[in-house]
Amino acid sequence: MRVAVHQGPLGDLPRIDADLVVTAEMITTGYHIGARTHELAEPADGPTAARMSALARQFGTALAYGYPETDGEHVYNSVQLVDATGRRLANYRKTHLFGDLDKAWFTPGDEAVVQADLGGLRVGLLICYDVEFPELVRAHALAGTELLVVPTALMSPYEIVADTLVPARAYESQLFVAYANRCDTERELTYCGRSCVVAPTGEVLARAGSGPEVIAADVTRDALAASRLENTHLADRRPELYRGTTA
């Protein structure tokens, strides 16, 4: 599978030669938008979903995009995955909310592992702060996720997350990670870019800078299997020792 990350505004999304294009957290509306979050929130099958499905069909590629989702009285920070025909495959609601930026406007999701099969791989979804919790990434690995898709809105001065933590997550849980950041400015926040596609070996296959950019890399089950044979973290786990240590 050819995986691409679009680090830039949705309106500048080009036609990309890839099987899957991953965009940033809240790409459809902006992230740090205060009360407008609730004004702009839509159901998972709303007009924005229809527009993004049409875009996937137009480009002939699967698409993962972040948006504010409304469901009854609740608003969630969500990411939706659609395939190249525009069919909705999976929808994930951010479970770990970051400070007042998230907690003031969103309800936390309550489903840790959301997955879909795409292009012969099991794709899992997380959002931004979620990936900073090793338990959550490991849960994905144990549930069979092979490619973890992470739209984010990482701001300066937290570049360490993109540069150090994301490759570490890929290596310790033995899966591919596609991490898609913003690179704009909203109010007092400056998003740092540094999007990446990382192999389960920890190797950074593609890395963006601080401005608008498209990066891409090939993600294969064979490469994942080879890495897991050499780096046996999952096989060598001793879960009987960990009981009661995660609360």
Q: Is the pLDDT of residue 246 over 70?
A: no
Q: Sign of the CA dihedral 156, 140, 106, 31? A: positive
Residues 37 and 94: their CA atoms lie apart, in Å, by 15
- Residue 244: pLDDT above 90? no
Stated pTM of the model? 0.97
pLDDT at 64: 98
Q: Are 136 and 112 in contact (CB under 8 A)?
A: yes
Q: Which two tokens stand for residue 115?
A: 């997955």
The amino acid occupying position 195 is S
Triad 213, 215, 218: Cα angle to 5°: 170
**pLDDT per position as a tens digit, 16-31:** 999 999 999 999 999 9
Q: Active-site positions? A: 25, 94, 128
The answer to whether residues 192 and 24 touch, using CB atoms and an 8 Å cutoff, is no
The SS3 call for residue 91 is strand
The closest alpha carbon to 148, from 201, 93, 199, belongs to 199
Residue 159 has pLDDT above 70, yes or no: yes
User: Beta strand 185-186 with 176-180: parallel, antiparallel or unpaired?
Assistant: unpaired
> pLDDT tens digits for 26-73?
999 999 999 999 999 999 999 999 999 999 999 999 999 999 999 999
